[in-house]
Structure 1
Amino acid sequence: MPKILYVQTSGTDTPERLYAPFILATTAVAMDIEADIYFMIKGITVMKKGEAEQIKIGSFPSLKDVIDQAKDAGITFYVCEQSTQLLGLERGDFIEGIKIAGAATLNDLAIEADSVITF
Structure 2
Amino acid sequence: MNEKGKYLYVQTSGVETPERTYAPFILSAAARARGMDASVFFGIKGVTILQRGQADKVELPQPFGSLKAAIEQAAAAGVSFLVCEESARMLGIDLQDGFIDGAKMIGACTLNALVGESDAVMYF
TM above 0.5, yes or no, is yes
C-alpha displacement of 1:84: 1.0
- 1:10-60 residue CA offsets vs partner (Å, 9 max, x unmatched): 001100000000000000111111100000000000000111111110012
Q: CA deviation at 1:89?
A: 1.1
1:96 pairs, out of 94, 101, 113, with 101
Q: Deviations over 1:71-94 (max 9, x none)?
A: 000010000001011111111111
SS at match of 1:4: strand
Deviation at 1:61?
A: 2.2
Q: Which runs of 5+ in 2 are unaligned?
A: none
Runs of 4+ in 1 over 6 A off after TM superposition: none
> Using the alignment, how far apart are the partners of 1:27 and 1:64 within structure 2?
17
Does residue 116 of structure 1 match 2:121? yes
Q: Which residue of structure 2 lines up, in the alignment, with residue 7 of structure 1?
A: 10
CA distance in 2: counterparts of 1:54 and 1:87, whole angstroms: 18
Query: 2:122 is aligned with what amino acid?
Result: I
Equivalent of residue 88 in structure 2, options 66, 71, 84: 84
Task: State the SS of the aligned residue for 1:117.
Answer: strand
Decide which of 59, 62, 68 is 1:64's aligned counterpart. Answer: 68
Question: Match for 1:111: what amino acid?
Answer: G
Q: Which amino acid aligns with 2:75?
A: K
Percent of matched pairs sharing the same residue: 49
TM-score with structure 2 setting the length = 0.93
1:82 partner letter: E
Higher helix share: 1
Question: TM-score, normalising length from structure 1?
Answer: 0.97
Alignment size in residue pairs: 119
